[in-house]
Amino acid sequence: MDYLTVKQVAELKKCSERYVQKLVKNGELQAEEKLHPQNNQACYMIPVSALSENLQAKYYQQKRTEVSYRNVKSHSVCNSRRTVSESRRCRRCRKSASHHLEFR
């Protein structure tokens, strides 16, 4: 099960962190109170399942986009991620553009 911080939920809902904390405190949003590993203060961890279906879909869409962006490989020499036509040479590494074809 995925858990979100108050800050992450606030960004999804486009509201303030304080408002999310208020929702949790009033029982309108389910959350677990845990100790923060770095400063040992209590913090809320909100399960994704406690969010509305729209917010869950938005969260998982962002997560898919983030993962697909990380899976884009770049050339080890030039780190270029853009597509270059075959007839040109890469501006960064000066090799033929064929090494960029996998990025289309």
pLDDT band at 88 (very low <50, low <70, confident <90, very high): low
pLDDT band at 102 (very low <50, low <70, confident <90, very high): very low
Same domain? For 30 and 2 the reply is: yes
Structural domain boundaries, residue 46 = 1-71
Whether the pTM exceeds 0.85: the reply is no
Same domain? For 19 and 35 the reply is: yes
pLDDT band at 85 (very low <50, low <70, confident <90, very high): very low
List the Cα angle 36/57/102 in 5-degree steps: 95
How many domains does the chain divide into?
2
Same domain? For 12 and 55 the reply is: yes
Same domain? For 64 and 79 the reply is: no
Residues 69 and 85: their CA atoms lie apart, in Å, by 22
Same domain? For 17 and 7 the reply is: yes
